[in-house]
Chain A
Amino acid sequence: MLFAGNKVNEVAPLKESAQPSNVVEPPTGAQKKPEPPAEKRRWQIFFTVPLATATALAVHWLASRQEPPGETHLYTYLLSGLLVVSIVAVALQSLWSSDWMRGACPLIAAAVLLLAGWEMATSGFRWLPMPYFPSPAAVLQSLVTDRDLLFDSTCHSLLLLLCGYALGVAVGLFSGVCIGWSRQVRYWGMPLLKIVGPIPATAWIPLAMVLSPSAMVSAMALIALAVWFPVTMLTASGVSNTRAAYLDVARTLGAGRAFLIFRVAIPAALPSIFIGLFMGLGASFLTLVVAETVGVKSGLGWYVSWAQGWAEYRKVYAALLIMAAFFSTIMTALFKVRDRVLVWQKGVIKW
């Protein structure tokens, strides 16, 4: 990767010195770095991953010599596997390569270098206090050895999250459409929404603990509450801001109230509704982890605080990694749904 970067820099000044003779070129065009030919760039980009992986392996080998023996070699296997795969990819690139691979190479290389840097800072030079900052090899090991409990926790979290989110969305859509459509409901509902809604759902935890018989039920209700507010708010605003002309046209086509609500106002509000769904999803992640940390006796949030209680920070990091993958996957799934539903809209944000 480093070599590739140097090469680009070497080429750049040459081209730039050739530019000033071209007076007609606008200044912005002249300042733009000339792109190296596509063929050359592909070569360099494909070499970044094996180089980075080799560096990480070397760092690991040097660092692990100071470690006590008996550690499994998972991290070594992982890096070696990546090295082999990337070398094969470089070898085959003239035969078969996709734009996706070319685009991902610098990112993968950077991630591997980051791992190497992490290892250097932890088990290598021990710049960071030890129990709190384990090496990537140690985290990977906990991830694998504690996989049963982690899997179980993930399932519990997923169940709780989905139940709470679904409940919040269902109630939020209903109340949002009512508030957005009916002036009377808006008059009575809006003040309630404005006062109760902004309270963070986690602030209700003391009350929820008293009111509910089971921690699971109260956690679900809290997640639903966290989701309900943004979904209601944005559904209501989307529905009430439906272009009057759409409603007028629908009326002259003979539309009744059900058609106006379900086939005009709600579809017109969908872009806004999805913003509410995304905000609600973010709020639900937060509420889930907090609820699991303080009340619920299962799930990833519980796992993190439990591992912390035993000062097993490598497990904490393992759980954080799982959470990152878990939440990111759910977010991606919602984006996919959005792209499918809002296919009629132009210029939607890509995830």
Chain B
Amino acid sequence: MVAVSENTVATEGASLRVKDVTKVFAARDSTAERMLALDAMSFAVAPGELVSIIGPSGCGKSTLLRLIGGLDFPTSGELYVGTEAITGPSSERGLVFQDPCLFPWLTVRRNIQAGLVALGVLREKRSEVNYFLRLVGLEGFADVYPHHLSGGMAQRVALARALITHPKILLLDEPLGALDAFTRMRMQDEVLDLWQARLTTTLLVTHDIDEAIYMSRRILIMTPRPGRVERSIEVDLPRPRDRSSAEFLDLRSEILKLFTSPVS
């Protein structure tokens, strides 16, 4: 892995701004009972930045990503990519879930090129498909159907599929959560490589503190019910990061303390 200073490479990413976003879910049977998922949440991500969001389950992390992805709409508040408001899903915001969600009826190659087909630019950009197949190391599996892939391989295909349309923002919703510890550590490096090659603005939702510290430049800590950003922690460690260095462990225990002691 190459250590790159994060602001020297030209970035493909755009800035992301979340402004006073509130999301209320109406309970199914009664309109009186409403669940406040996100409460006036605000934060900003600089172009090319890799930011992690950690928090206990049910704190609205996935809701937030769906809002940024344009798959759902906030009850109030605004979301901006650069200067444009988010009004719906778009190929400029790629999304990868914990479940790779590959289309099972398409081969690996066809899964990766799905975004190009959707945009109607497959003919011009066919060479990109081979480039991304090579990038995620799956040239040999181009014509294989997803049910033959291991979890790590499937997640790499999902990443390539999300990246092929050159999104300005990459949203990762616990993408490595279902992998075993070793695959997971290898994949963390691969995701970092992908990110450093393009410096796509990346938002990584995780509940693994080590992963957040290892990968991101900044960590947003969310509290549940209602979900809001409790703290923003800069991770100012040189890359590649050493998971057993003193600074790493200090930061880790500091964050752990935030979760174990009751937050006022």
Contacts and interface: CB of A to CB of B under 8 A. Distances in A.
Interface of A: 243, 245-246, 248-256, 259, 263-264, 267-268, 270, 343-346
A236 B71 CA distance: 24
Contacts of B115: 253-254
Interface stretch (B3-11, B87-95, B193-201, B240-248): B87-95
Interface in B90-129: 90-91, 93-95, 97, 99, 101, 103-106, 114-115, 117-119
7 contacts: A245-B99, A249-B103, A254-B89, A254-B165, A263-B117, A263-B118, A344-B145
Contacts of B227: none
Given A252-B95, A267-B103, 11 more contacts: A243-B101, A245-B99, A246-B103, A252-B91, A253-B94, A253-B118, A253-B119, A253-B165, A254-B90, A344-B145, A346-B147
Interface in B148-191: 161-162, 165
Nearest to B95: A252
Interface residues of B, number: 29
A194 to B, nearest CB: 25
A133 to B, nearest CB: 51
B69 interface: yes
Contacts of B66: 248
B71 A259 contact: no
Contacts of B119: 253-254
Nearest to B90: A254
Contact of A252 (B69, B106, B146, B147): B69
Contacts of A254: 89-91, 115, 118-119, 165
Interface in B62-83: 66, 69-71
Nearest to A345: B104
Contacts of A256: 118
Contacts of B105: 267-268, 270, 344
A253 to B, nearest CB: 4
Nearest to B91: A254
Given A245-B101, A267-B105, A344-B105, A252 B114 contact: no
A264 to B, nearest CB: 7
Given A248-B71, A346-B147, A255 B101 contact: no
Residue from A246, A250, A253, A259 whose CB has the most chain B CB atoms within 10 Å: A253
A259 B117 contact: yes
B99 A343 contact: no
